[in-house]
Amino acid sequence: MTDDKQIQLFQTTDGGVQLEVTLEQETVWLSQAQMCELFGRERSVITKHINNIFKEGELVRDSVSAKIAHTASDGKTYQGSFFAHGGASNDRY
């Protein structure tokens, strides 16, 4: 692995999608809502995909998920489930 740290942003043809991510060491953490926005899919589709990944043993839940506090648009802080991409925990994902 190189020391290059990159984030790729994906944009729709009409210029939509703004994605804020949580970075911790070499890992990007996304909520299911952020994954829905990034991939343009309904939450049920993202949930089903994530559950299949864990069910099939492709990734281990404790290695790639965490409860992280985040501030919502209403200004309140909530604990939410976030999922990792990158870093040593799931290089193949």
- Tell me the whole-structure pTM to 2 decimals: 0.59
Distances (CA, A) of 87 to 43, 48, 81: 25, 24, 18
The conformation of residue 90, written as its DSSP 8-state character, comes to: B
pLDDT of 30 > 80? The answer is yes
pLDDT of 2 > 60? The answer is no
Alpha helices (H) in the chain, listed in sequence order: 32-39, 43-55, 61-64
Task: Give the span between the Cα atoms of 74 and 93, in whole angstroms.
Answer: 33
